[in-house]
Amino acid sequence: MNRILFITAFPPNKLTAGQNYSKELLSLLSEDYNVDLIFFSYPNHEIEVNSKVNVLKKVNVSTVSKIYSWIHFPFLHPFFLLRFRFRLLFFLIKNAKNYKFLYFDFSQVFIYSPFLTKSVKILMCHDVIYQKFKRNRFFYFNPFNSLLLFTERYILKSADLLLTFSKKDQLLLKDNYGLNSSTINFFISDKIKFIDYSTITLSFKFCFFGAWNRPENAKGLNWFVDHVLPHLKHELKFEIIGPGLDGALISKIKDNKNIKYLGFLEDPYVKIAESQALIAPIFQGAGVKVKVIESLAVGTPVLGTEVAFEGIDNFYEGSFLLCNEAKDFISVLNKLEPISIDTKRDIQKTFEKSYQENKIKDLLVSLTK
Protein backbone atom coordinates (compact mmCIF):
# COMPACT_ATOMS: atom_id res chain seq x y z
CA MET A 1 0.00 0.00 0.00
CA ASN A 2 1.33 3.48 -0.90
CA ARG A 3 2.28 5.89 1.88
CA ILE A 4 1.31 9.52 2.48
CA LEU A 5 3.03 11.88 4.88
CA PHE A 6 0.44 14.36 6.17
CA ILE A 7 1.89 17.52 7.79
CA THR A 8 -0.65 19.85 9.38
CA ALA A 9 -0.37 23.12 11.29
CA PHE A 10 -2.98 22.19 13.92
CA PRO A 11 -4.18 19.06 15.74
CA PRO A 12 -6.87 17.33 13.65
CA ASN A 13 -10.11 17.38 15.64
CA LYS A 14 -13.67 18.65 15.40
CA LEU A 15 -13.28 21.90 17.33
CA THR A 16 -12.88 24.12 14.25
CA ALA A 17 -14.00 23.72 10.65
CA GLY A 18 -10.47 23.57 9.25
CA GLN A 19 -9.28 21.05 11.81
CA ASN A 20 -12.38 18.94 11.28
CA TYR A 21 -11.62 18.90 7.55
CA SER A 22 -8.14 17.57 8.36
CA LYS A 23 -9.65 14.92 10.63
CA GLU A 24 -12.15 13.75 8.00
CA LEU A 25 -9.55 13.79 5.21
CA LEU A 26 -7.17 11.66 7.25
CA SER A 27 -9.95 9.14 7.76
CA LEU A 28 -10.70 9.07 4.03
CA LEU A 29 -7.06 8.76 2.95
CA SER A 30 -6.35 5.99 5.44
CA GLU A 31 -8.82 3.75 3.59
CA ASP A 32 -6.43 3.43 0.62
CA TYR A 33 -3.05 4.62 1.90
CA ASN A 34 -0.76 4.14 4.86
CA VAL A 35 -0.84 7.61 6.41
CA ASP A 36 1.83 9.02 8.72
CA LEU A 37 0.89 12.22 10.54
CA ILE A 38 3.01 15.13 11.77
CA PHE A 39 1.08 17.89 13.53
CA PHE A 40 1.79 21.05 15.51
CA SER A 41 0.32 21.66 18.93
CA TYR A 42 -2.34 24.23 19.75
CA PRO A 43 -3.46 25.30 23.27
CA ASN A 44 -6.24 23.12 24.74
CA HIS A 45 -6.65 21.12 21.52
CA GLU A 46 -6.23 17.34 21.54
CA ILE A 47 -5.79 15.17 18.47
CA GLU A 48 -8.69 13.02 17.17
CA VAL A 49 -7.78 10.52 14.43
CA ASN A 50 -8.74 6.95 13.70
CA SER A 51 -6.52 4.00 14.57
CA LYS A 52 -5.33 3.55 10.97
CA VAL A 53 -3.45 6.86 11.05
CA ASN A 54 0.08 6.58 12.42
CA VAL A 55 0.90 9.64 14.54
CA LEU A 56 4.58 10.12 13.76
CA LYS A 57 5.43 13.43 15.45
CA LYS A 58 3.89 16.17 17.55
CA VAL A 59 5.77 19.48 17.31
CA ASN A 60 5.24 21.93 20.15
CA VAL A 61 4.59 25.60 19.43
CA SER A 62 5.64 28.38 21.80
CA THR A 63 6.40 32.09 21.57
CA VAL A 64 10.13 31.37 21.83
CA SER A 65 9.98 28.79 19.03
CA LYS A 66 8.12 31.25 16.78
CA ILE A 67 10.74 33.97 17.25
CA TYR A 68 13.56 31.47 16.77
CA SER A 69 12.00 30.29 13.50
CA TRP A 70 11.55 33.78 12.09
CA ILE A 71 15.10 35.06 12.69
CA HIS A 72 16.52 32.40 10.37
CA PHE A 73 14.62 33.75 7.35
CA PRO A 74 14.15 37.52 7.84
CA PHE A 75 13.74 37.95 4.08
CA LEU A 76 10.45 35.98 4.16
CA HIS A 77 7.15 36.99 5.75
CA PRO A 78 6.89 35.81 9.39
CA PHE A 79 3.38 34.35 8.97
CA PHE A 80 4.83 31.45 7.00
CA LEU A 81 7.80 30.86 9.30
CA LEU A 82 6.31 30.42 12.77
CA ARG A 83 6.18 26.63 12.42
CA PHE A 84 9.54 26.18 10.78
CA ARG A 85 11.92 23.82 12.60
CA PHE A 86 15.31 22.78 11.23
CA ARG A 87 15.03 19.39 12.90
CA LEU A 88 11.75 18.71 11.12
CA LEU A 89 13.17 19.94 7.80
CA PHE A 90 16.11 17.54 8.07
CA PHE A 91 13.71 14.71 8.90
CA LEU A 92 11.63 15.51 5.81
CA ILE A 93 14.66 15.75 3.52
CA LYS A 94 15.88 12.37 4.78
CA ASN A 95 12.53 10.54 4.67
CA ALA A 96 10.51 12.15 1.87
CA LYS A 97 11.59 9.47 -0.61
CA ASN A 98 9.66 6.88 1.44
CA TYR A 99 6.30 8.46 0.60
CA LYS A 100 4.14 8.56 -2.50
CA PHE A 101 2.83 12.02 -1.56
CA LEU A 102 3.63 14.75 0.93
CA TYR A 103 0.45 16.57 1.95
CA PHE A 104 0.87 20.02 3.54
CA ASP A 105 -2.26 21.18 5.34
CA PHE A 106 -2.68 24.94 6.06
CA SER A 107 -0.36 27.68 4.78
CA GLN A 108 1.58 27.79 8.07
CA VAL A 109 3.46 24.58 7.11
CA PHE A 110 4.03 25.31 3.42
CA ILE A 111 7.54 26.64 4.16
CA TYR A 112 8.96 23.09 4.04
CA SER A 113 7.79 22.44 0.49
CA PRO A 114 10.43 24.43 -1.47
CA PHE A 115 13.24 22.44 0.19
CA LEU A 116 11.87 19.08 -0.95
CA THR A 117 12.64 19.11 -4.66
CA LYS A 118 12.32 15.38 -5.39
CA SER A 119 8.93 14.76 -3.79
CA VAL A 120 5.32 14.93 -4.99
CA LYS A 121 3.90 17.77 -2.89
CA ILE A 122 0.27 18.71 -2.33
CA LEU A 123 -0.51 22.08 -0.71
CA MET A 124 -4.00 22.63 0.72
CA CYS A 125 -4.81 26.37 0.77
CA HIS A 126 -7.53 26.77 3.38
CA ASP A 127 -7.16 30.52 2.71
CA VAL A 128 -5.28 32.72 0.28
CA ILE A 129 -3.22 34.51 2.90
CA TYR A 130 -2.64 37.69 0.91
CA GLN A 131 -6.41 38.25 0.77
CA LYS A 132 -6.74 37.45 4.49
CA PHE A 133 -4.17 40.11 5.43
CA LYS A 134 -5.53 42.60 2.91
CA ARG A 135 -8.72 42.88 4.96
CA ASN A 136 -6.89 44.12 8.04
CA ARG A 137 -7.61 47.76 8.81
CA PHE A 138 -4.01 48.96 8.50
CA PHE A 139 -2.97 46.75 5.60
CA TYR A 140 -1.94 49.58 3.28
CA PHE A 141 0.32 51.09 5.95
CA ASN A 142 2.18 47.81 6.53
CA PRO A 143 5.69 47.72 5.01
CA PHE A 144 5.60 43.90 4.99
CA ASN A 145 2.88 43.68 2.32
CA SER A 146 5.21 43.16 -0.64
CA LEU A 147 7.11 40.61 1.44
CA LEU A 148 3.87 38.73 2.08
CA LEU A 149 3.05 38.61 -1.63
CA PHE A 150 6.59 37.48 -2.50
CA THR A 151 6.68 34.77 0.18
CA GLU A 152 3.30 33.28 -0.64
CA ARG A 153 4.14 33.15 -4.36
CA TYR A 154 7.57 31.61 -3.67
CA ILE A 155 6.10 28.86 -1.49
CA LEU A 156 3.04 28.04 -3.60
CA LYS A 157 5.12 27.66 -6.78
CA SER A 158 6.82 24.64 -5.21
CA ALA A 159 3.60 22.55 -5.24
CA ASP A 160 2.85 19.73 -7.64
CA LEU A 161 -0.84 20.14 -6.79
CA LEU A 162 -2.51 23.18 -5.25
CA LEU A 163 -5.93 22.68 -3.64
CA THR A 164 -8.57 25.25 -2.67
CA PHE A 165 -12.15 25.15 -1.41
CA SER A 166 -13.72 27.50 -3.97
CA LYS A 167 -13.56 28.87 -7.49
CA LYS A 168 -13.05 32.28 -5.90
CA ASP A 169 -9.77 31.19 -4.30
CA GLN A 170 -8.83 29.37 -7.48
CA LEU A 171 -9.18 32.65 -9.35
CA LEU A 172 -7.19 34.55 -6.70
CA LEU A 173 -4.29 32.11 -7.05
CA LYS A 174 -4.40 32.51 -10.81
CA ASP A 175 -4.66 36.32 -10.78
CA ASN A 176 -2.14 36.99 -7.99
CA TYR A 177 0.42 34.31 -8.73
CA GLY A 178 -0.33 32.84 -12.15
CA LEU A 179 -0.82 29.41 -10.56
CA ASN A 180 -3.35 26.72 -11.46
CA SER A 181 -5.19 24.90 -8.70
CA SER A 182 -7.98 22.36 -8.19
CA THR A 183 -11.08 22.88 -6.08
CA ILE A 184 -12.43 20.32 -3.65
CA ASN A 185 -15.43 20.34 -1.33
CA PHE A 186 -15.71 20.19 2.41
CA PHE A 187 -16.91 16.99 4.01
CA ILE A 188 -20.50 17.12 5.18
CA SER A 189 -21.02 15.54 8.59
CA ASP A 190 -23.25 12.48 8.83
CA LYS A 191 -25.08 14.35 11.59
CA ILE A 192 -26.15 16.91 8.98
CA LYS A 193 -27.25 14.21 6.56
CA PHE A 194 -29.54 12.74 9.20
CA ILE A 195 -31.38 15.98 10.01
CA ASP A 196 -35.08 15.14 9.55
CA TYR A 197 -37.56 18.00 9.87
CA SER A 198 -40.34 15.63 10.83
CA THR A 199 -38.50 15.36 14.18
CA ILE A 200 -37.40 19.01 14.50
CA THR A 201 -39.34 21.62 16.46
CA LEU A 202 -38.63 25.13 15.19
CA SER A 203 -38.03 27.91 17.68
CA PHE A 204 -38.08 31.64 17.07
CA LYS A 205 -34.38 31.81 17.87
CA PHE A 206 -31.33 32.71 15.82
CA CYS A 207 -27.88 31.24 16.22
CA PHE A 208 -24.20 32.09 15.89
CA PHE A 209 -21.82 29.20 15.20
CA GLY A 210 -18.04 29.03 15.06
CA ALA A 211 -14.71 28.71 16.82
CA TRP A 212 -14.69 31.91 18.88
CA ASN A 213 -10.94 31.93 19.46
CA ARG A 214 -10.61 32.94 15.80
CA PRO A 215 -10.35 36.77 15.66
CA GLU A 216 -12.61 37.21 12.62
CA ASN A 217 -15.41 35.30 14.39
CA ALA A 218 -14.98 36.96 17.78
CA LYS A 219 -14.75 40.50 16.38
CA GLY A 220 -17.90 40.03 14.32
CA LEU A 221 -19.87 38.69 17.26
CA ASN A 222 -18.64 41.46 19.54
CA TRP A 223 -19.62 44.03 16.90
CA PHE A 224 -23.11 42.51 16.66
CA VAL A 225 -23.60 42.60 20.44
CA ASP A 226 -22.53 46.28 20.57
CA HIS A 227 -24.15 47.70 17.43
CA VAL A 228 -27.09 45.47 16.50
CA LEU A 229 -28.45 43.64 19.54
CA PRO A 230 -29.55 46.78 21.50
CA HIS A 231 -31.78 47.87 18.58
CA LEU A 232 -33.68 44.60 18.07
CA LYS A 233 -37.15 43.58 19.21
CA HIS A 234 -37.11 42.11 22.69
CA GLU A 235 -38.79 38.90 21.53
CA LEU A 236 -35.81 37.99 19.31
CA LYS A 237 -33.57 35.40 21.00
CA PHE A 238 -30.03 34.35 20.08
CA GLU A 239 -27.82 31.36 20.94
CA ILE A 240 -24.04 31.22 20.52
CA ILE A 241 -22.66 27.78 19.65
CA GLY A 242 -19.00 26.82 19.64
CA PRO A 243 -15.88 26.79 21.85
CA GLY A 244 -13.46 29.52 22.83
CA LEU A 245 -15.61 32.56 23.59
CA ASP A 246 -13.60 35.25 25.38
CA GLY A 247 -14.37 35.79 29.05
CA ALA A 248 -14.92 39.52 28.53
CA LEU A 249 -17.68 38.86 25.99
CA ILE A 250 -19.24 36.20 28.21
CA SER A 251 -19.39 38.79 31.01
CA LYS A 252 -20.87 41.37 28.64
CA ILE A 253 -23.82 39.16 27.69
CA LYS A 254 -24.41 37.25 30.93
CA ASP A 255 -27.20 39.55 32.13
CA ASN A 256 -28.83 39.89 28.71
CA LYS A 257 -31.85 37.60 28.53
CA ASN A 258 -31.96 37.75 24.71
CA ILE A 259 -28.62 36.05 24.06
CA LYS A 260 -27.13 32.90 25.56
CA TYR A 261 -23.76 31.18 25.19
CA LEU A 262 -24.11 27.40 24.81
CA GLY A 263 -20.42 26.60 24.23
CA PHE A 264 -19.20 23.51 22.41
CA LEU A 265 -21.92 21.01 21.45
CA GLU A 266 -21.24 17.47 20.25
CA ASP A 267 -24.06 17.89 17.75
CA PRO A 268 -24.59 21.58 16.92
CA TYR A 269 -26.64 20.82 13.81
CA VAL A 270 -29.92 20.10 15.59
CA LYS A 271 -29.67 23.54 17.23
CA ILE A 272 -28.95 25.13 13.85
CA ALA A 273 -31.89 23.24 12.33
CA GLU A 274 -34.20 24.53 15.06
CA SER A 275 -33.12 28.13 14.44
CA GLN A 276 -34.75 30.70 12.18
CA ALA A 277 -31.39 31.63 10.66
CA LEU A 278 -27.65 31.56 11.22
CA ILE A 279 -26.13 35.02 11.83
CA ALA A 280 -22.67 35.53 10.27
CA PRO A 281 -21.33 39.09 10.84
CA ILE A 282 -17.84 38.46 9.40
CA PHE A 283 -15.73 41.34 8.11
CA GLN A 284 -12.25 39.79 8.02
CA GLY A 285 -10.57 36.56 7.01
CA ALA A 286 -10.53 34.70 3.73
CA GLY A 287 -11.70 31.44 2.18
CA VAL A 288 -15.10 29.77 2.25
CA LYS A 289 -16.90 29.98 5.59
CA VAL A 290 -17.77 26.40 6.49
CA LYS A 291 -20.45 27.46 8.97
CA VAL A 292 -22.42 28.96 6.06
CA ILE A 293 -22.09 25.77 3.98
CA GLU A 294 -23.18 23.64 6.94
CA SER A 295 -26.14 25.87 7.72
CA LEU A 296 -27.37 25.60 4.13
CA ALA A 297 -26.85 21.83 4.24
CA VAL A 298 -29.04 21.70 7.35
CA GLY A 299 -31.70 23.84 5.66
CA THR A 300 -31.25 26.99 7.71
CA PRO A 301 -30.89 30.34 5.88
CA VAL A 302 -28.03 32.72 6.68
CA LEU A 303 -27.89 36.45 7.43
CA GLY A 304 -24.36 37.59 6.73
CA THR A 305 -21.89 39.92 5.11
CA GLU A 306 -20.23 39.75 1.70
CA VAL A 307 -17.19 38.18 3.37
CA ALA A 308 -19.39 35.48 4.91
CA PHE A 309 -20.81 34.50 1.51
CA GLU A 310 -17.71 34.73 -0.67
CA GLY A 311 -16.83 31.62 -2.64
CA ILE A 312 -20.34 30.19 -2.33
CA ASP A 313 -22.11 29.42 -5.60
CA ASN A 314 -24.99 31.71 -6.51
CA PHE A 315 -27.62 28.97 -6.76
CA TYR A 316 -27.91 29.28 -2.96
CA GLU A 317 -28.78 32.95 -3.35
CA GLY A 318 -32.38 32.59 -2.17
CA SER A 319 -31.12 31.03 1.05
CA PHE A 320 -29.15 33.96 2.40
CA LEU A 321 -29.73 37.62 3.14
CA LEU A 322 -26.90 40.10 2.64
CA CYS A 323 -26.31 42.48 5.57
CA ASN A 324 -23.12 44.54 5.49
CA GLU A 325 -23.94 47.22 8.07
CA ALA A 326 -25.64 47.36 11.46
CA LYS A 327 -28.72 49.01 9.97
CA ASP A 328 -29.08 46.08 7.52
CA PHE A 329 -29.07 43.46 10.28
CA ILE A 330 -31.46 45.55 12.39
CA SER A 331 -33.93 46.08 9.55
CA VAL A 332 -33.93 42.46 8.37
CA LEU A 333 -34.18 40.90 11.82
CA ASN A 334 -36.93 43.21 13.06
CA LYS A 335 -39.06 42.48 9.98
CA LEU A 336 -38.29 38.79 9.50
CA GLU A 337 -41.30 36.48 9.39
CA PRO A 338 -41.06 33.00 10.98
CA ILE A 339 -39.62 30.42 8.63
CA SER A 340 -41.62 27.32 7.72
CA ILE A 341 -40.59 23.67 7.74
CA ASP A 342 -41.29 23.52 4.00
CA THR A 343 -38.86 26.37 3.31
CA LYS A 344 -36.19 24.59 5.32
CA ARG A 345 -36.75 21.38 3.40
CA ASP A 346 -36.45 23.31 0.11
CA ILE A 347 -33.06 24.72 1.19
CA GLN A 348 -31.97 21.21 2.15
CA LYS A 349 -32.97 19.84 -1.26
CA THR A 350 -31.17 22.63 -3.13
CA PHE A 351 -28.00 21.82 -1.24
CA GLU A 352 -28.32 18.07 -1.78
CA LYS A 353 -28.72 18.56 -5.54
CA SER A 354 -25.68 20.83 -5.84
CA TYR A 355 -23.25 19.22 -3.41
CA GLN A 356 -20.53 17.01 -4.85
CA GLU A 357 -18.43 14.62 -2.79
CA ASN A 358 -14.78 15.44 -2.09
CA LYS A 359 -12.67 14.26 -5.07
CA ILE A 360 -9.23 14.20 -3.44
CA LYS A 361 -8.71 10.50 -4.21
CA ASP A 362 -9.27 11.08 -7.94
CA LEU A 363 -6.79 13.95 -7.90
CA LEU A 364 -4.15 11.77 -6.25
CA VAL A 365 -4.62 9.09 -8.90
CA SER A 366 -4.24 11.71 -11.64
CA LEU A 367 -0.90 12.82 -10.18
CA THR A 368 0.60 9.40 -10.85
CA LYS A 369 -0.50 9.14 -14.48
Is residue 129 within 8 Å of residue 286, measured between CB atoms?
A: yes
Nearest to 48 by CA among 2, 8, 80, 84: 8
β-pairing, 259-263 vs 54-59, is unpaired
pTM across the whole model: 0.81
β-pairing, 101-105 vs 278-280, is unpaired
Per-residue pLDDT of the chain (369 residues; tens, 9 = 90+): 689 999 999 999 988 888 888 998 999 999 889 999 999 988 888 898 888 999 999 998 777 766 777 777 777 888 888 899 889 999 999 999 999 999 999 999 999 999 998 889 999 998 877 777 766 655 555 666 678 788 889 999 999 999 998 888 888 889 889 999 988 888 777 788 778 888 888 888 999 998 888 888 888 899 999 999 989 888 899 999 988 888 888 888 888 888 999 988 888 899 999 999 999 998 876 667 788 888 888 889 999 888 888 777 655 566 788 888 899 999 999 988 889 898 888 888 888 877 777 788 888 877 766
Per DSSP, 175 falls in state: H
Residues constituting the chain: 369
